[in-house]
Amino acid sequence: MGHRFHQLPPALPRSGALVALVLLLAAPVAGSLPGGVGRADDLPPPPATTAASITGATTATTTATFKGTVTCVRCHRSEQGEWTGPATTLHWREDAHSRAHLALAPTNERTAAIERVLGIEARRTRACIACHSHAPAEPAVTAETPLLHAGISCETCHGAASAYLEPHAAKEWRFLPTEEKSAFGMHDLRSPAVKAANCAACHVGDIGSGRLVTHGMYAAGHPPLRPFEVESFSTALGPHWRRIEAKPETIRAEAAAAGYRTEAAGPIDRSLIEGLGVLRQSVRLAADLAAVAEGETPQVSWPELSLHDCRACHHELVLPSQRPALGYRRHVPGRPTLPAWPLGLAGAALRSTPEKPAVDDLLAPLLAEFDAVPFGTPRAVVVAAVGPLTGIDAAIARLAPGRARGDEAGDRAAIEALAAAGATADDVDGARVVAAALLPALATSPAWGADERRAACDRIAAILGLDPAGMSPGSHRPAPTATPDIRAVRAAFILPAPTSPR
């Protein structure tokens, strides 16, 4: 049976953020919960996209339109020489994203329960559709097949394809500079920063594209958004692409001759940059919603509790407790602040830049506003977020070029920064995110002996419920039935001294 779903465009310009959120929250549910709902029929059109000619000789402006998944599959289901092949669609059809729309089916018991509480029909509610299906302007998948699903589509992540569809099939396209490809509307997902922003739009939230899981939605039964580390989760899902280094020698030679680099040098660099990107999205989400709340939208209530660390309110009031024993970093007890889980990985990334700023120092202006007044005031939050966003962008720019492959000293320093972040974690979810980046790097580092590496990886993985290879929580083993003691988690990250000198 076919499915038709609609959602907001993958991205709107910042100027469209206000409009998108007004539409998203225009029909509030009972009471003061801000997680309102509305129909998907009156959504704004997709944004305009600038496109240049493939030769770069002229530049024109056009409106990018969606071509539909079936158009992509026509080529990517078959062998395309040495460059690409059917593995793309073979992997994608098993990816959870392509089936995300099934979560909205009325036969889904959890969805049915949420619908009863909120008085909505999830398949027609933009706040649900935005993260569970493709763009409203995209041709619908009217009949699902083993290769075609109605969930998150190719163009949801890669951008509306009308401008780049034909050019990207040409051999000359392969080694065009990233900026030229982006001018056609193709999202540069080989950039760790762009990839992180793309993923975090749903997995953290994004006002401009209408992707926001509100506290009201959580209260109605929506599962918490799971803390995630972009690189390991991508690996666990099964990548539907091949990096340059995994392509045949002829392709690698062509890339080298063209001076073409697709991304940061290796997985450690990618993890660090993506960690900063996820933190950036958390800060931007708070700033954008605050900007809307202080504007012309009385439908938006402030505070929006989903922006904050859930543990600030949802923790046991018992004594003795780990919470006061661990301290509150620099925060005022009882004042909800940003979610803690992105801080460890982003902090390790910051320590890998020449300036080595502490993550709390970078975020200090924004955190101070959340401490000064419970939840902060909208105008103050908007202003205070500017400095942290600028600092995160600067750190991403520092790390973006990557390091030369085989830089064992640099890899070791990054591993030590990740281990230090885990050893000072005050949040088990944050420790899991750090471990997901650390374990695959540590498992192959020549700075430690094989037995030492294996023992350290198994120790960290066991207490956190991770696969020893560092993939997503529970991917190969069940997570612990009880939350582990954070002090034991910290101790697990203390690595032995390296066996090889720097």
HSE (side-chain half, CA atoms, 13 Å) at 329: 23
Q: Which two tokens stand for residue 164?
A: 């780049």
Mean pLDDT over 21-38 rounds to: 33
**Residue extents of the structural domains in the chain:** 14-257, 264-405, 425-502
Which has the closest alpha carbon to 285: 339, 336, 344? 339
Question: Looking at residue 298, what is its pLDDT?
Answer: 54
Q: Which of 140-154, 275-289, 364-378 has the lowest mean pLDDT?
A: 140-154
Packed helices 192-203 and 230-237: angle between N→C axes, nearest 10 degrees: 80
For 51-89, write each residue's pLDDT tens digit.
Answer: 232 323 233 335 789 999 888 888 887 766 677 777 777
Task: Name which residue leads in pLDDT, 238 or 62.
Answer: 238
Confidence class of residue 468 from pLDDT cuts 50, 70 and 90? low
Residues with Cβ within 8 Å of 383's Cβ and at least 6 positions away in sequence, in order, are none
Task: Name which residue leads in pLDDT, 59 or 197.
Answer: 197
Question: Looking at residue 394, what is its pLDDT?
Answer: 96
Confidence class of residue 403 from pLDDT cuts 50, 70 and 90? confident
Question: Looking at residue 381, what is its pLDDT?
Answer: 96
Task: Name which residue leads in pLDDT, 139 or 36.
Answer: 139
Which class for 390: exposed (0-12), middle (13-18), buried (19 or more C-beta within 10 A)?
A: exposed
**88: DSSP letter:** H
Question: Looking at residue 393, what is its pLDDT?
Answer: 97
Mean pLDDT over 266-293 rounds to: 94
Task: Name which residue leads in pLDDT, 101 or 8.
Answer: 101
Is pLDDT at 470 greater than 60 in this prediction? no
Task: Name which residue leads in pLDDT, 52 or 205.
Answer: 205
**84: DSSP letter:** B
Is pLDDT at 6 greater than 70 in this prediction? no
Q: Which of 51-65, 344-358, 407-421, 444-458 has the lowest mean pLDDT?
A: 51-65
For 279-289, write each residue's pLDDT tens digit.
Answer: 999 999 999 99
**Which CATH topology does 14-257 take?**
Flavocytochrome C3; Chain A, domain 2 (1.10.1130)
Question: Looking at residue 54, what is its pLDDT?
Answer: 33
Per the listing, tokens 């009972």 go with 30
C-alpha to C-alpha distance for 439 and 428, rounded to whole angstroms: 16
- The three-class DSSP label of residue 218 is helix
Question: Looking at residue 319, what is its pLDDT?
Answer: 80
Task: Return the C-alpha torsion angle 307, 311, 317, 319, nearest 10.
Answer: -140
The percent of residues above 70 in pLDDT, for the chain, comes to 80
For 94-111, write each residue's pLDDT tens digit.
Answer: 888 988 999 999 899 999
Is pLDDT at 480 greater than 60 in this prediction? no
Mean pLDDT over 420-447 rounds to: 94
In the chain the first and final C-alpha atoms are separated, in Å, by 60
Mean pLDDT over 8-37 rounds to: 34
Global model pTM greater than 0.75:
yes
- Give the mean pLDDT of the chain: 81
Q: Which two tokens stand for residue 16?
A: 């469209």
Q: Report CA-CA distances (Å) from 103 to 39, 150, 296, 333, 343.
A: 18, 12, 33, 37, 30
Where does 34-170 have alpha helices with state H? 69-76, 87-92, 109-118, 126-132, 154-158
C-alpha to C-alpha distance for 51 and 269, rounded to whole angstroms: 30
Is pLDDT at 50 greater than 50 in this prediction? no
Task: Name which residue leads in pLDDT, 270 or 255.
Answer: 270
Other CB atoms within a 10 A radius of the CB of residue 421 amount to 28
Question: Looking at residue 33, what is its pLDDT?
Answer: 27
